[in-house]
Amino acid sequence: MDIFDAQEKIEQLSKEIEYHNYCYYILDNPKISDYDFDMLMQQLLDLELQFPQLVSPNSPSQRVGGGITKNFATVTHRVPMLSLGNTYSMSEVEDFAMRVYNGLNTREIEYVCELKYDGVAINLSYTNGKLQQASTRGDGVQGDDVTVNVRTIRSVPLLLQGDFPKNLEVRGEIIMPYKSFYALNQERENQLLTPFANPRNAASGSLKLQNSAEVAKRNLDFYVYFVVNGEKIQPTHYQSITKLKEWGFKVSPYMQVCKNIAQIGDFIELWDQKRKTLPFDIDGVVIKVNSYSQQALLGFTAKNPRWAIAYKFKAERVLTKLLSVSYQVGRTGVVTPVANLAPVSLAGTIVKRATLHNADFIAQMDIHNGDSVFVEKGGEIIPKIVGIDISQRPDNANIIEFPDTCPDCGAKLNRNEGEAGFYCPDFAHCPPQIKGCLEHFVSRKAMNIEGLGEGKTDLLYEKGLLKNITDFYRLKYENLLGIHRTYLDENTQKERTVYFREKTVKNLLTAIENSKSVPFERVLYALGIRYIGENSAKKLAIHFRSLDALAVAKKEELLTVEDVGEKLAQTLIEYFHDDDNLQIINDLKSFGLQFELTQSTHLAPVSDVLEGKTFLVSGTFATADRRKELENMIEQYGGKRLSSVSSNLNFLIAGDNMGPSKLAKAQSLNIPIISEETFLKMLNK
């Protein structure tokens, strides 16, 4: 096959795949089996592999992502993305209708009522039926270009079909369905990461991920709700949205044309109740004048269109009884109080527990044992206690006293100055901390040891095969095969069995062996040292190059590392003075883990001309990337970067608009302030 035949075949396959994608995700009416769809996709992938010059950004193969975006470009919206005015009562909706009537001076007015999705507004531009750009709302005038990430969303058409116009610009909402949200939060909890508070935050955070392949895994969804084009494709909003469906867009099946206020009220009341049955989050109803000509007559205020308004639902709140308070110990030892509640239905789920955050929250809310508490979800998926019905407090109700010892191991709890939480310091012998560290160690962003999900790590701990993280490298085939445990799944109330079968064991042992090549910065993160996250682990690894150098570092040198403060520096010193920790590190070294940076895991050194010198880059430079380039040069030429002005700083590289406080402090300490040009001359020397 020559390149011309290949191009024709790729275009044909792309259109066919996008059509079946439309049938599956938009119409919910698949025309072929999953296997046949996969075969079409494989044909496309094979051709694109053979002719990489023919790969289009809008190819269906790009849905899986893979593009890396370090900085999101700023996009100026051709038409500003204005927000809607909000209302919380039907009387305010009536006032809106009266303003519309006065502005048009006619009773021949139709409204369109739509669900108000609780997600992220997005602007999509198409040229000749191909997606060109996707941008966020931002401040309404400018947003971020997130095209690479949006292309991974299956319900966003990459290629339009039918009689679409040459240029088309639409707006809609990117949302995260509940199913995707719960799966994502479960994964984050397994990795000991903070779960997202609600689907809206999760969708917003997903769109700004640098790796589009990660966005693809989160199963976002999209609904279109507005046509931006100056030339309206139909005379009314409802007709235009219906037309968009023909061209491949996913539109709401719940829109309704309303003739009067009574019908609008019925729509609002209906969805205030039925929203509990939806597979995604909404927080209200949007009401729009249907006719485009009437919209044009009504116009805009400085901030909002006069022809549309949003009715916001009140947050659902229920009253239930506080039965008891239990205390959970996390991986880092922080003790979190949890309210155990009399089961109550709230926003479509049965709520039995709610977080009480910490001792200060309990004291501020003045919560007593046996209180009747108000629980709310609102926009939050995680239930929270928002108040108390004092009138129902029992006469013998006692205040809740936070324990002074660990509920699991009995060690006396500590509380650092400036921190809200109490924590258990006996991390080496506290079961939940040990299990938390084991799970953190094998997580994807740490050692990435696959095959230990579904409670398998807990099972190995309970069987005595894991006492600390070094024991992963002592696991043997004969010890693992056949281990199992049956337990009750709290979510489904069904029995589940965790089982180590032959294939599971072989895959696990292979993953453990492969983990020995994980680079040093991830090994450092995997150790689970308090306050060390992914970024700080990477910066410490680049600065010290090896664990041996980090282990003997003085506090003063630790504080010179960017993002390392007093708490982390002190924690590191204490960690490396603990004999148990040193034994664990020595054991891991003997198993062959990486405790030094290799040439491929950090910036390649160019020279040592800056050795022994420290620098801080401050201000703005010719391009957004230039500052990072200068910081990289410091390391490549043997220097060290600091994060603030201090007596340890040798040179301050100043760009434009540098903060006056940094400048004044540098001058008071007589620190040389140099330009970018002077710094480059230092490198040449």
Active site residue 179: no
Q: How far apart are CA 357 and CA 365, in angstroms?
A: 11
Helix 34-50 × helix 3-25 angle, to 10°:
150
Instruction: Give the burial class of 566: count Cβ atoms within 10 A of its Cβ; 0-12 exposed, 13-18 middle, 19 or more buried.
Output: exposed
Amino acid symbol at 553:
A
| Rounded to 5°, angle at Cα 11 from 9 and 17 | 100
| Cβ-based neighbours of 536, under 8 Å, separated by 6 or more | 563, 564, 568
Q: Are 346 and 375 in contact (CB under 8 A)?
A: yes
Q: State both tokens at 408.
A: 């699991």
Q: State both tokens at 660.
A: 């006056």
Task: Find the radius of gyration of the CA atoms of the chain.
Answer: 29
Q: Are 191 and 443 in contact (CB under 8 A)?
A: yes
Q: Are 362 and 337 in contact (CB under 8 A)?
A: yes
Q: Are 337 and 425 in contact (CB under 8 A)?
A: no
Greatest CA separation for the chain: 87
Q: How far apart are CA 223 and CA 226, in angstroms?
A: 10
Q: Are 124 and 229 in contact (CB under 8 A)?
A: no
Q: What does residue 338 show for φ and ψ, rounded to 5 degrees?
A: -125, 130
Range list of β-strands (E), 450-540 = 484-488, 495-499
Q: How far apart are CA 95 and CA 93, in angstroms?
A: 5
Q: Which of 31, 70, 116, 613 is catalytic?
A: 116
Q: Which of 260, 267, 307, 303 is nearest to 284 (CA)?
A: 267
Q: How far apart are CA 179 and CA 175, in angstroms?
A: 11
Q: Are 185 and 196 in contact (CB under 8 A)?
A: yes
Q: Which residues pair with 227 in a beta bridge?
A: 170
Q: Are 385 and 374 in contact (CB under 8 A)?
A: yes
Amino acid symbol at 264:
I
Q: How far apart are CA 82 and CA 288, in angstroms?
A: 14
Q: How far apart are the first and last CA of the chain?
A: 56
Do β-strands 111-117 and 120-127 pair in parallel, antiparallel, or remain unpaired?
unpaired
Q: Are 109 and 100 in contact (CB under 8 A)?
A: yes
Q: How far apart are CA 569 and CA 242, in angstroms?
A: 60
Q: Are 523 and 534 in contact (CB under 8 A)?
A: no
Amino acid symbol at 138:
G
Q: State both tokens at 26.
A: 């938009």
Residues belonging to the active site = 116
